[in-house]
Amino acid sequence: MYPKEECGVFAIYGHVNSAELTYYGLYALQHRGQESAGIASFDPCQNHFQVCRGMGLVSQVFDSRSLASLQGTMAIGHVRYSTTGSSTLLNAQPIVVSCSKGELALAHNGNIVNAVSIRRELENKGSIFQTTSDSEVILHLMAQPAQEDIVGSFLNALQRVKGAFSCVLMTTKGIFAARDPLGFRPLCLGKIENSYVVSSETCAFDLIHAEYIRDIEPGEVLFIGEDGLKSYFINGQTTKKAFCIFEYVYFARPDSNIAGLNVSKARIQMGKELAKLYPVDADIVVPVPDSGNYAALGYAEQSGIPYYPAFVRNHYIGRTFIQPTQLIRDFSVRIKLNLIQEAIKGKRVIVVDDSIVRGTTARARVVNLREAGAKEVHIRVSCPPHRYPCHYGIDFPNPKSLLANQLAIEDICKYLGADSLGYLSHEALIKACLEANTEFCTACFTGKYPVDFDPDFDKMILERRSFFENVTK
Amino acid sequence: MYPKEECGVFAIYGHVNSAELTYYGLYALQHRGQESAGIASFDPCQNHFQVCRGMGLVSQVFDSRSLASLQGTMAIGHVRYSTTGSSTLLNAQPIVVSCSKGELALAHNGNIVNAVSIRRELENKGSIFQTTSDSEVILHLMAQPAQEDIVGSFLNALQRVKGAFSCVLMTTKGIFAARDPLGFRPLCLGKIENSYVVSSETCAFDLIHAEYIRDIEPGEVLFIGEDGLKSYFINGQTTKKAFCIFEYVYFARPDSNIAGLNVSKARIQMGKELAKLYPVDADIVVPVPDSGNYAALGYAEQSGIPYYPAFVRNHYIGRTFIQPTQLIRDFSVRIKLNLIQEAIKGKRVIVVDDSIVRGTTARARVVNLREAGAKEVHIRVSCPPHRYPCHYGIDFPNPKSLLANQLAIEDICKYLGADSLGYLSHEALIKACLEANTEFCTACFTGKYPVDFDPDFDKMILERRSFFENVTK
Amino acid sequence: MYPKEECGVFAIYGHVNSAELTYYGLYALQHRGQESAGIASFDPCQNHFQVCRGMGLVSQVFDSRSLASLQGTMAIGHVRYSTTGSSTLLNAQPIVVSCSKGELALAHNGNIVNAVSIRRELENKGSIFQTTSDSEVILHLMAQPAQEDIVGSFLNALQRVKGAFSCVLMTTKGIFAARDPLGFRPLCLGKIENSYVVSSETCAFDLIHAEYIRDIEPGEVLFIGEDGLKSYFINGQTTKKAFCIFEYVYFARPDSNIAGLNVSKARIQMGKELAKLYPVDADIVVPVPDSGNYAALGYAEQSGIPYYPAFVRNHYIGRTFIQPTQLIRDFSVRIKLNLIQEAIKGKRVIVVDDSIVRGTTARARVVNLREAGAKEVHIRVSCPPHRYPCHYGIDFPNPKSLLANQLAIEDICKYLGADSLGYLSHEALIKACLEANTEFCTACFTGKYPVDFDPDFDKMILERRSFFENVTK
Amino acid sequence: MYPKEECGVFAIYGHVNSAELTYYGLYALQHRGQESAGIASFDPCQNHFQVCRGMGLVSQVFDSRSLASLQGTMAIGHVRYSTTGSSTLLNAQPIVVSCSKGELALAHNGNIVNAVSIRRELENKGSIFQTTSDSEVILHLMAQPAQEDIVGSFLNALQRVKGAFSCVLMTTKGIFAARDPLGFRPLCLGKIENSYVVSSETCAFDLIHAEYIRDIEPGEVLFIGEDGLKSYFINGQTTKKAFCIFEYVYFARPDSNIAGLNVSKARIQMGKELAKLYPVDADIVVPVPDSGNYAALGYAEQSGIPYYPAFVRNHYIGRTFIQPTQLIRDFSVRIKLNLIQEAIKGKRVIVVDDSIVRGTTARARVVNLREAGAKEVHIRVSCPPHRYPCHYGIDFPNPKSLLANQLAIEDICKYLGADSLGYLSHEALIKACLEANTEFCTACFTGKYPVDFDPDFDKMILERRSFFENVTK
């Protein structure tokens, strides 16, 4: 079964420092995936693909020496977070292959919902699969002999796959940037000096001082080559769109702009809508950092109740942190965020968070607030209750672990131990994002999936249990 | 010459998990020193000191195995940042020695201003020095044969040294926690279950769920042993105090309480005072994260101008980040903090920071704001101009590099490219910290040093140029 | 172009400690490849392939944790040395894939001489290649839909590939051990408790206390499964054999037995033949350690001249050894082997080595001997002059770098600065290996290649220059 | 209690590449200590000591960057192996201190038998000890105010300490090389270009192409400075000598010359004497590699029985080797040395080793030989039975673990399972080393200790049990 993945992609064409700029681009996209990182570059003079991939943060995977080896005037990069138990180098991207279409390198963000059935079909035709990433099917489809040229084979492959994908493909002639017809995941085009750059988010352009040009359109396959830009569309230009609204709520960086709307601004507006829907008489508005910061600010502004960042974040939590042996209660919550008790004592507190998924952390936080002397605790959430899984690239837990899938709102409030609980309504969320020039996928709140997925998905998963796994050291 | 050091200390007596709790305590104190960390423990049953020290963050220095080896029912810990060019394991603390007073382990925060002359005197008597840390002189003084018992020798040693010190000393009988007579650096006492804990700041108590008891008093030498607590005073109890006000301004964590005043609260009050002193007609108040967050909030609250966290912090900057080869302008500023351009465009912006030292970063930040479209940029600083070096444990650069030591305020404003510039006044800073039950050292603003230091300091430094250095791998 | 590789393989079926035993097996085969190592295991209960691969020695790639994760009752392992400039994790084996025949894992030793043309054919059919290892073609051939079952598809694949291969293939049903029809590389079968083991050399059996059963026959494809052993033959049973005689001369470990002949014994006999062919009046016989040890012993025994190991090997040369900055002459020779000058001074010395390839080291060694006071230096080589490249898995340098390809014997002697030089003759070498129950490939001496390779090999190499490369950190 | 240590030292004065040459020197001395390594250098122009120390092999501790940082025209280096359970960076040398005599760096090989009592005396005077190495007392003694100049204070210190020491001391003026009055450990002087070098063994000179000048004499304190060499003697020149004969038997490298006798030659002579004393009718003489190689050769030569290196050494055993879980019998013996079974089968075998200490390994080896089919196994040992501990720097186990301390020779033979057993006699050993221009310490065979050690040693050890320990990560 294919793991669910969250990812970021970056690409640059026609720059002598292509690998170095890709490195900085990935750095700015690190929030989209912290498990593995990779860069592939190509030097037309040497006619040579090079790739460096590794487990860990961008700053851990690359060093001066590996960056220097990634020569060439074009490059693509990838950061990835996988939700399967075993994190593995095997699936680190870009995937680089040699096939009938020459050498190809692919970096992909999203989930292909019909990957398992395509894979079965391709295996029956003689293909062998070496990763457990759904992205691999795109390359196999391209490699099939039917299609003559690369453009045709890429368009054909993308017509076969269903689901969410924002991806960049490097060939020896140039770079493709493609987005699925509904535009689930972000992808945008920029320019630095005379070179085009592609990134999952605009924050990467800011870092390298590139100029934002435009978003890649849903269904667009943009080729960047010697002759500049050339646009293709997967199934002709479509009008229906389904951009993942959770990118605004949580996933994207606040300094990124998507579909013309700045993410931090959207979040402030969500907070304001929330204050209108669920006002309460209280003393302070406390954000859950960092995801709740802007919504809390919006709530405070709208309500006139003072904003107080009473949770202090520990910036030094590393991967290797040692869990205490049942020594300290609620440790895992406090280790990341410590309360300023002085600010809470005797106060009626509104806590604003971006979402509640399992509820475990939110519940422990209420205990913390009570211990610190909060008189009342009111929880406000800047999106509707999560009731359904995402099939398009955001990793929510199993529906049975989704609190709102199991309990009614008032029971959730009791479970969390809060005095009141308010979720942003679907309408208000859409309203908060009104300035975005797109329509939205809100399947995780509504269960209405814009793209069908195989109903036998679960059955196939069981059948495929044997799929090989890499043991990490 | 002795390096200037910033440090945090922690101690615990009488707990079976002493090393583990010290580990978490140091974790909460990590902001006080990120260069090296160490823990020494003692097991009365085994009569054995154990120590583990290393370069790096607490999470890097210790692992499950090393923590498990640090057995015993008492432990002390240390985190350290040194300002000398070569960071070296040699000076990582706790220092553990064997001498006429038995085995001793010391962890020390502060700067001893007469360390060089004491050292010279001790060398002439036959002592050999193996570190370049000023803390080592305390142990040498204790080791001198004149004094009979440990308490007497420790008190005697602390009467000889001048300057700032908050330190913990572990012997085979118990733990001492001592603070210099003026109380420059913080040090407080807490309790977890039936065990006493000592920490530089209260935030460490919060993490391990210990209860805060009281601050160690200036001049106090507290012994924690089999019979509970016993207090001594270095030169009898004194009345004059000189707590480093910069701990409130910048150094301490916002969730810590010192001398009865919460740090985040003090900072909000600084922001309010600043708004009273230097009001300006503007559209948004933008903090420089994270140090300017609370002061900006205070400024916004007092002025009624909206607060907007328009700088977005990159949480993934590692030590190994590769500097670009002159590729990208103002890169080092943007890599840490990226601006939300949408929030700035066309706005009159008030930027609030805790301090301006060299001015290089502040200047680059103004350039960023202008590029993002800010109409006006007004800088507000939540403390007076830094004009003098600190001799008591805060690492400011050479006075010649202190912007306010070289230029008049209006020239600083020009240099920074700002439309206006306002520093908090000395009086207003004191007023903002009025609730603190202490007097203050403000030498870095005023040049009035509460404890004399050797006027020939610089001469000695040159003379001692040869002092050995560890080469780090 | 495919890199030339030297490798060792190991496999075990039906043992609860299969991964652990494979680890020790690879340990004993480490001399066959020190660049990368890998183990794949399969647990029928869990229906799950697992694989751990890494760059470095067996002892570096695996730790207790990764070994513990490699659960299952069958496993295969691989050690590898590649001769291409960039050593890369990409090509570390076992290769694990999913295809129409289910999950497969392959570990391969040898060189497939028609890999490039098969690959081109497969790419044209739609296959994509993800490594630069020639072994990958075997799996692609198996994946092709024509064949019904695994046995048939494996036999079919092996009929298509030409060249040298000794390989083990793990399926969910059992393990195949296969050897090419001429039997270039060794492969043998053993038994530990009730489990069958397969190894490149018998020395791995000794380490794990397994009992040697027999060599896998040239052309044999042995399946080890639930029902014990079952033998197939690639093209029916053949009579012609071409075992690489250089395994006896240099590559195999002296404690291994191949085709019924112990390797150390073969080397002693080579030394004796050499003494018969090129006797000389001298004082001591000095081996070049460790490759020349046994031949020198044979020479000494035959000639009656005393054996003296006058070169002392430094056992602590690590990978990270820092080359001196032109400081010390002939350093790279002396750092590995230092002469006992006392033993050499005033003596007529016979130096016995297993082979001379480029001659650089041999020449520097003569200088060392002269400086140590040797009166005469006579070089004896225990195989014929290397004049031709190997296409079947031994990495000799480019023919232009082969000393014997460029110079006549007497000119080589002059070049080396020796007083005399004698190479073992082809006939004498064969005679020394007479007890081996096989025929030999001696192409590197004679240029008579038992299996054709594509004459356009070089052309293809140039054409394929672009083949992608992994950048190692 | 002080750990027993085995060490190697190196020094160079007056060379621009002093640290680099020290690095190579230590490389050649690596066999004398593999636990930690360190180099201290001094640059008169910069008046600055620098030191780099670390756990591990020379090739692991240093890299290009750390070597480049060790600037200066003089340097000393040290490799160390300690026998205490916890190996610790704390005790890595050179020790560098600052004291009344200025900066000093010391590297020391040997054991000071009165270190504990001197240390107690110094602690009572006010000294503090920061390592658990006996070498530290030398520096403390030098630091005492009584002596005026460095030469005097060093001579005085060396007159106080008793036992074995070969050490190098770096001051800002030059380098001292000193050897205890009985000359237990080797130390020699060489020259490279115009610079003097000092090394524990001559093999280091060979590597860096330095010329051997002479041994440092027992009791000599040689100063190398601006004016060349100047000799002092610790207690006037003495005549009695006590060079550790076990350096010839086992510890020193075979290519080193000590006191005019080459080590490999001494070992061959031991083998010949052994053959005269304990002849036996047999088929082959098999050395235990590498320590028994030369003695076995001598035995073979004297007896006329063929020499056969039937044990094959695995060169790839790293530190991280994973012990099998009771899976394989006698594993720890076979993993290092595998038998060539073909060479042993049906043979009467003479096994020659340099020494038998605990007997565990020797016993397992006999089992191996029997399993391989040896008809008879005769053990010959090239030194007398070890019955007493060494107090002067060789690490033998506790006397109770010494086989010969517990059993009579014939019982040892039974225990080992051998057909016969012969140890070289004391007289024959002395005879084999007759060419050495020295007298010998043979205390480990005879119990006659040339230098008294404190009879209360054990008592003190218990008392000092608490001495602190470093926890290694």
In this prediction, residue A83 has a pLDDT band, given cuts at 50, 70 and 90, of low
Known binding site: residues of B?
Answer: 244, 291, 353-354, 390, 441, 444
Least confident residue range of B432-441, C57-66, D3-12, D322-331: D322-331
- Over chain C, what is the mean pLDDT? 90
| SS3 of residue A194 by DSSP | coil
Which of the following is catalytic: B7, B52, B188, B203? B7
- Flag whether A touches C (3+ CB pairs, 8 A cutoff): yes
Mutation target vs C (from A48, A98, A156; most C CBs, 10 A cutoff): A98
Closest CA to D51 of D33, D35, D70: D70
What is the residue-wise DSSP string for B437-465? SS-EE-HHHH---SS---TTHHHHHHHGG
* D chain contacts of residue B100, beta-carbon cutoff 8 Å: 123-126
Tell me what pLDDT residue B334 has: 81
Q: How far apart are the first and last CA of chain C?
A: 23
Q: Which two tokens stand for residue D197?
A: 């070098």
Mutate to test the interface with A, among B268, B342, B369 (most CBs of A within 10 A): B342
Above 80 in pLDDT, residue C226? Answer: yes
CA distance D412 to D366: 13
CB-CB under 8 Å, C123 with A466: no
Q: Is D321 touching C (CB cutoff 8 A)?
A: yes
> What residues have CB less than 8 Å from C50, skipping those under 6 apart?
A468, A469, A470, A471, C40, C41, C42, C43, C69, C70, C71, C72
- Is any Cβ of chain B less than 8 angstroms from the Cβ of D172? yes
Q: How far is it, in rounded angstroms, from Cα D251 to Cα D109?
A: 13
The parts of chain D modelled with pLDDT lower than 50 are: 1, 84-86, 458-473
Residues in chain B closer than 8 A to D470 (CB atoms) = 50-53
D337 in contact with C, Cβ within 8 Å = no
Taking only the tens place, the pLDDT of each residue in A374-426 is: 999 999 999 999 999 898 888 777 888 899 999 999 999 999 999 999 999 99
Determine the 3-state secondary structure of D464 from DSSP.
Answer: helix
CB spacing of B325 vs A27 below 8 angstroms: no
Check C7, C167, C203, C383 and give the catalytic one.
C7
User: Which residues in chain B are closer than 8 Å to A318, comparing Cβ atoms?
Assistant: 57, 59-60
In the beta sheet, which residues pair with residue B174? B225
Sign of CA dihedral C177, C180, C181, C186: negative
- To probe the interface with C, which of D312, D321, D344 has the most C CB atoms within 10 Å? D312
CB contact under 8 A, B98 and D468: yes
Residues in chain B closer than 8 A to A262 (CB atoms)? 340-343
- What is the predicted pLDDT for the residue at A145? 83
Tell me which DSSP letter residue C113 carries.
Answer: T
CA distance D105 to chain B (A): 10
Please compute the mean of the pLDDT values over residues B415-431 and round it to a whole number: 98
The rounded radius of gyration (Å) of the Cα atoms in chain A is 23
Q: C348 burial class (0-12, 13-18, 19+ CB within 10 angstroms)? A: middle
Q: What is the mean pLDDT of chain A?
A: 90
> Which among B73, B3, B9, B69 is positioned nearest to B38, based on CA atoms?
B9
DSSP states along C287-330: E-TTTTHHHHHHHHHHH-PPB---EEE-TT--TTPPPPSS-STT
- What is the per-residue pLDDT across B76-89, written as a single tens digit (0 to 9) for each? 999 998 754 345 77
Neighboring chain A residues of B338 at a CB cutoff of 8 Å: 28, 203, 206-207, 255
| pLDDT of A136 above 80 | yes
State how far the Cα of D385 lies from the Cα of D353, in Å rounded to an integer: 12
Residues of D in contact with C20 (CB under 8 A): 324-325, 327
CB distance C135 to C112 below 8 Å: yes
CA C231 – CA C225 distance, rounded (Å): 11
Task: Decide if A327 touches B, using CB distance below 8 A.
Answer: yes
Q: Which residue has the tokens 């007056």?
A: D14
What is the tens place of the pLDDT at every residue in C128-166? 998 888 899 999 999 998 767 999 999 999 999 999 999
Contacts with C, A 6-65, CB within 8 Å: 40, 47-54, 61-63, 65
pLDDT per residue as tens digits for the range A279-296: 999 999 999 998 899 999
Helix (H) or strand (E) holding B265: helix B263-277
- Which of the pair, B329 or C44, is modelled with greater confidence? C44
A402 token code pair: 């989704």
Q: What CA–CA distance (Å, rounded) separates B80 from B58? A: 10
Question: With an 8 Å Cβ cutoff, is B309 touching chain A?
Answer: yes
Q: Is the distance from CB of A17 to CB of A74 less than 8 angstroms?
A: no
User: How many Cβ pairs closer than 8 A exist between chain A and B?
Assistant: 167
As a whole number of Å, the end-to-end CA separation of chain A is 23
Predicted confidence at residue D322, as pLDDT, reads 73
pLDDT at B462 > cutoff 50 = no
Give the C-alpha separation, A365 to A42, whole Å: 49
* Nearest CB to B338; choose among A60, A207, A257: A207
D342: contact with C, CB 8 A cutoff: yes
Q: pLDDT tens digits for B269-306?
A: 999 999 999 999 999 999 999 889 999 999 999 999 99
The Cα-based distances of B373 to A28, A201, B342, B343 in angstroms read 22, 20, 9, 9
- Amino acid code (one letter) for C471: V
Q: Which of D50, D89, D467 sits opposite B98 (nearest CB)?
A: D467
Cis amide linkage into residue C94, ω under 30° from 0: yes
C279, exposed or middle or buried, with CB in 10 Å at 0-12, 13-18, 19+?
Answer: middle
Q: Distance between CA B460 and CA C324 in Å, rounded? A: 39
Contact flag C124-A100 (C-beta cutoff 8 Å): yes
| Residue D52 to residue B89: CA distance in whole angstroms | 10
Q: What is the pLDDT of residues C176-218, one digit of tens each?
A: 999 999 999 999 999 999 999 999 999 999 999 999 999 999 9
Q: Do B66 and D124 touch (CB under 8 A)?
A: no
Q: Average the pLDDT over C417-429 and give the result.
A: 98
What are C275-319's pLDDT values in tens digits? 999 999 999 999 999 889 999 999 999 999 999 999 998 888 766
Tell me the per-residue pLDDT of B381-407, one tens digit each, with 9 for 90 and over.
999 999 998 988 887 778 888 999 999
Name residues whose C-beta falls within 8 Å of residue B95's C-beta, 6 or more positions apart in sequence.
B105, B106, B107, B131, B133, B135, B136, B139, D130
Rounded to whole angstroms, how far apart are CA atoms D182 and D3? 22
- Is A297 in contact with B307 (Cβ distance < 8 A)? yes
Chain C with chain D: Cβ pairs closer than 8 A: 166
Residues C27-41 as b or e (16 or more Cβ within 10 Å = b): bbbbbbbbbbbbbbb
CA dihedral in degrees (A320, A321, A325, A331; nearest 10)? Answer: -150
Q: Rounded to an integer, what distance in angstroms lies between the CA atom of residue A225 and that of residue B125?
A: 77
Whether the Cβ atoms of residue B20 and residue B134 lie closer than 8 Å to each other: no
Share of chain C above pLDDT 90, in %: 73
- Give the C-alpha separation, B367 to B374, whole Å: 10
Contact partners, residue C59, CB within 8 Å, separation at least 6:
C27, D316, D317, D318, D319, D320, D321, D322
Say how far apart CA D84 and CA D89 lie, in whole Å.
13
For tokens 């008891």, what's the residue?
B213
Q: How far apart are CA D235 and CA B168, in angstroms?
A: 46
- Rounded CA-CA distance C50/C170 in Å is 11
Residues recorded for chain C: 473
Q: Tell me, what's the pLDDT at C454?
A: 65
Q: How far is CA A223 from the centre of its chain?
A: 24
Q: Decide if B104 contacts B47 (C-beta within 8 A).
A: no
- Alpha-carbon gap, residue A432 to A444, rounded angstroms: 18
